[in-house]
Amino acid sequence: MMRAICQIYLLVMYSLLISSCRFDTSPWEYSVDCDTLNLDVNLNWLAKIENTNKEQPHFSIAVIGDPGLFPGDLELTIKKINQINKVDFILLLGDLTELGVKQEYEWTCKAISHSNKPILSVIGNHDALSYGREIWLNTIGPYDYSFTYKNTKFIAYNDNKYEFADVPDKEWLQKEAALETDEIRHHTIGMSHIEPWWDIDFTFTDELKAFGFDLMLHAHSHKFSYWYKPSVKLPHLINADTIDIKYSIVNFTPANISVEQCEPECIPATAVNWSDIP
């Protein structure tokens, strides 16, 4: 009996050994084999979607953030959003990892691979830990980038002040938000992991409004809120984390933007005066 158990054990061990060739040199490696998070891949995919339904001016997007330690909940959130036909693409607003190590990026990548929609990501503060910056640049793409979908411009920027010096790049933001000659644009949307750092830069929302932004999307605080500074009236949507399937839907028409808060079923959300937030 013991001999049989030993033989089975040996067989299992060798099967494991032979079938997987994962020899990780250290926890701090930084090459991640992952196409599903790559910006170019996702932007090409999005361009194809735009070409197939160009005549329809309205569209919706899903916004998620902070999947960090919960790739399982991220997968479930992705699968839930897959079923929402009106959503054309997904914004993932940072903290894809907790420690910025290679294995975590691979798990997020695996969860994201279940998506039937393009996913555009923004770097979070945790993503830049360890060698996360190198992994991000090699695997996903630049920290700051922009794209236009159906005459709405989306501008992603890095505002992780603990890990990066001189962020956000306000000059770049202003330039990106400015209308080009003959450009027809319905809305300008900003997205970053962290909402404005009030203790350091109290007037940043004023500047963003002056640059021409219509809506700002963030994550980081792990709970949903939707507010505006009364003197500025630029709405900031802060997304909850994905634990137990949480996300937001933002609906765009040429004239309007509306927001839904989903946990996981969706209800309409209205921005409130920031002084009313507990």
Partner 1 sequence: MRILLLFISLLFSVPSKSGEQQLEFQTSGLVGLGHAFYSYTFINKHTLSIGAGYVPELADHDDMTLLSLKYRYTPTKSYPFISMGQEIMWKPYSFSVTVLRGEDNDIYKTLPDDIPKDYYLPSARRVIFSMQTNFVLQDGVEFYWDWSVLDIGLINYVRNFEFYRDNYRFLGLEGILSYGIGFRVDL
124 forms part of the interface with partner 1 (CB under 8 A): no
For partner 1, which residue of 4, 54, 55, 162 counts as binding (CB under 8 A)? 162
Q: In what order do the strands lie in the sheet with 257-262?
A: 119-121, 87-92, 59-64, 247-252, 257-262, 266-269
Q: Is 271 exposed, middle or buried (0-12, 13-18, 19+ CB in 10 A)?
A: middle
Measure Cα distances from 31 to 84, 102, 133, 136, 138 in Å.
33, 7, 11, 10, 7
99 forms part of the interface with partner 1 (CB under 8 A): yes
Residue 16 or 255: the one with the smaller Cβ distance to partner 1 is: 16
Length of the chain: 278
23 forms part of the interface with partner 1 (CB under 8 A): yes
Distance CA 201, CA 37 (A): 31
For partner 1, which residue of 50, 60, 131, 221 counts as binding (CB under 8 A)? 131
| Three-state secondary structure call for residue 197 | coil
For partner 1, which residue of 41, 129, 257, 266 counts as binding (CB under 8 A)? 129
- Measured from the Cβ of residue 110, the count of other Cβ atoms closer than 10 Å reads 14
Q: Which amino acid is at 167?
A: V
182 forms part of the interface with partner 1 (CB under 8 A): no
| Three-state secondary structure call for residue 260 | strand
Residue 100 or 235: the one with the smaller Cβ distance to partner 1 is: 100
Residue 117 or 126: the one with the smaller Cβ distance to partner 1 is: 126
For partner 1, which residue of 13, 137, 210, 277 counts as binding (CB under 8 A)? 13
**Would you give the binding string for partner 1 spanning residues 75-94, x where CB under 8 A is met?**
x-------------------
195 forms part of the interface with partner 1 (CB under 8 A): no
* Interface ranges with partner 1 (CB under 8 A): 6, 9-10, 13, 16-17, 19-31, 69-73, 75, 98-101, 103-104, 106-107, 110-111, 126, 129-131, 162
